[in-house]
């Protein structure tokens, strides 16, 4: 007997969905234990319960089955795929929300509003920009390629308690929370990535220049470890998509680039010994969750296919231009991926409240444009971005909009959003040292 493992560090992370009906078989060793917490917020006192699940050490002991029904194949017309420059899905998880929490249900709607105001939506762009709607949630088997079945079933069962209480805190995970819709909405967000993989593969068979994809989803995913949630994240959306691309489409070599300000420890853990998935993370040195040291390079058969580049506080546009030219591009060129997936975290922006780097809207434009070109050169243009962090709604939405402009090969509007007066001198000596260390360790 052991308790379902959840990290002891600060943690977690919707459109409302009908209840997904799955059959879940819980053995007697899956009893949920409850502890009452009383929390005062504003004028009202709310009772919040945290949950933990007990399960056997054998993760496969948890049986998860689904009704026998074939996956619906999205009928996206070939001419739409041929004309599109951008494919995107949105999953705002409106029901997954906690008052005053930085990872709120306002994030995706703010992005959608910005795309509309800046005339980057399908309404303004016609066939250039295509939003795929009414896509399927990920199946439990899709998620179980990354996460333990005991975690999946434990979270699913906890939804009834969330329905009774309104909000539950996941024990041992700091500010990680769940509501009654979290399980269903997290499956939908993971399904967005799967849908984009399917669409990307279909488009690449029609012509040499498939559109780029963007999963505008939450909860984010790159902190969610195989055994549980972490860092505002519930399911590893990008990790689920990576395994799906391998399993369903034979895209064996997957490169994941993570430029969130925080290390993508969950993604790293999922693939740490896998030689076919190259995980590369740039992040602020010393930031949450404290992982991603420069000498963490993978293990076993996967030794050398994890690359961490911790950047000193204050790093900005100069640091990322150097990192791309000297570390990201050479790593990709050597690895020769079949598809590039990107954990696009916008919390490295200078005005984001949760970290201390000083990227600008222009930095994110540069990254999107450069990664797009890299994918075109190495893997037939197959590239999908996944929304991760970004908690200043204005900088988040303007930066994602400029990412779309980079996808469309249109000039950046960064000058309209960025005030150079907010920036200070980057620590160039320490940046160069970090880059040279990474290059030395990985023989770049």
How far apart are the C-alpha atoms of 9 and 404, rounded to whole Å? 34
Angle of helix 182-206 relative to helix 237-249, nearest 10 degrees, comes to: 40
Token pair in block for residue 75: 């009928």
Tell me 281's DSSP state. Answer: E
Rounding to the nearest 10 degrees, give the CA dihedral for residues 241, 181, 214, 267.
-40
Q: What are the DSSP calls for 12-25, one per residue?
A: ------PPP--EEE
> Does the bond joining 219 to the residue before it have cis omega, within 30 degrees of 0?
yes
Query: What's the distance, CA 344 to chain centroid?
Result: 7
How far apart are the C-alpha atoms of 309 and 145, rounded to whole Å? 27
How far apart are the C-alpha atoms of 308 and 322, rounded to whole Å? 15
Of 409, 411, 400, the residue nearest 342 (C-alpha): 400
30 as an active site residue: the answer is no
Residue-wise over 57-78: b if at least 16 C-beta within 10 A, else e?
eebeebebeeeeeeeeeeebee
Q: What are the DSSP calls for 85-137, one per residue?
A: SEEEEEE--TTS--TT-SS-TTHHHHHHHHHHHTT-SHHHHGGGEEE--SPPP
Token pair in block for residue 15: 């459109």
Alpha carbon distance, N-terminus to C-terminus of the chain? 46
How far apart are the C-alpha atoms of 375 and 342, rounded to whole Å? 11
How far apart are the C-alpha atoms of 363 and 392, rounded to whole Å? 16
Helix, strand, coil proportions of the chain in percent (round to 5)? Answer: 40, 20, 40
Neighbours of 135 (CB within 10 A): 20
Are 203 and 392 in contact, with CB atoms under 8 Å apart? no
Strand 339-344 relative to strand 254-258, pairing: parallel
State the catalytic residue, choosing from 223, 262, 349, 442: 223
Residues forming the active site: 223
């Amino acid at each position: 007997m052991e308790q379902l493992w959840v990290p002891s560090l600060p943690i977690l992370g919707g459109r409302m969905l009908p209840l997904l009906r799955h059959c879940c078989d819980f053995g007697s060793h899956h009893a949920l234990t409850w502890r009452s917490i009383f929390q005062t917020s504003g004028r009202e006192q709310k009772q919040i319960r945290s949950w933990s699940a007990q399960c056997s050490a054998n993760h496969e002991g948890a049986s998860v089955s689904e009704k026998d029904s074939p996956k619906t194949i999205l009928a996206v017309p070939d001419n739409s795929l041929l004309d599109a420059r951008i494919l995107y899905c949105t999953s705002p998880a409106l029901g997954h929300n906690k008052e005053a929490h930085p990872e709120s249900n306002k994030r995706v709607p703010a992005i959608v509003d910005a795309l509309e105001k800046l005339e980057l939506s399908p309404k303004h762009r016609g066939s250039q920009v295509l939003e795929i709607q009414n896509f399927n949630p990920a199946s439990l088997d899709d998620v179980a390629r990354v996460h333990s079945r005991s975690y999946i079933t434990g979270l699913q069962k906890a939804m009834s308690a969330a329905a009774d209480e309104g909000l539950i805190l996941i024990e041992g995970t700091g500010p990680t929370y769940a509501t009654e819709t979290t399980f269903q909405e997290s499956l939908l967000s993971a399904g967005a990535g799967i849908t984009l993989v399917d669409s990307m593969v279909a488009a690449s068979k029609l012509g040499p220049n498939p559109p780029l994809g963007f999963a505008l989803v939450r909860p984010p995913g790159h902190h969610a470890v195989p055994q549980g949630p972490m860092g505002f994240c519930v399911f590893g959306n990008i990790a689920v998509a990576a395994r799906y691309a391998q399993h369903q489409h034979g895209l064996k070599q997957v490169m994941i680039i993570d430029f969130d300000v925080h290390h993508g420890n969950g993604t790293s853990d999922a693939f740490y010994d896998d030689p076919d998935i190259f995980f590369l993370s740039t992040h602020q040195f010393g930031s949450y969750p404290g992982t991603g040291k420069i000498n963490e390079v993978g293990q076993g058969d996967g030794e050398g296919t994890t690359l961490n580049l911790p950047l000193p506080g204050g790093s900005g546009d100069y640091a990322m231009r150097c990192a791309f030219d000297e570390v990201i591009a050479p790593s990709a060129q050597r690895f020769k991926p079949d598809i590039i997936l990107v954990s696009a975290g916008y919390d490295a922006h200078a005005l984001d409240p949760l970290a201390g780097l000083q990227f600008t809207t222009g930095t994110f434009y540069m990254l999107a444009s450069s990664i797009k070109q890299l994918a075109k050169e190495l893997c037939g243009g197959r590239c999908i971005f996944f929304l991760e962090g970004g908690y200043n709604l204005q900088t988040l939405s303007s930066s994602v909009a400029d990412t779309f402009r980079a996808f469309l090969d249109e000039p950046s509007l960064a000058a309209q959003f960025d005030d150079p007066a907010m920036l200070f001198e980057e620590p160039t000596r320490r940046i160069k040292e970090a880059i040279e260390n990474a290059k030395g360790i990985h023989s770049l």
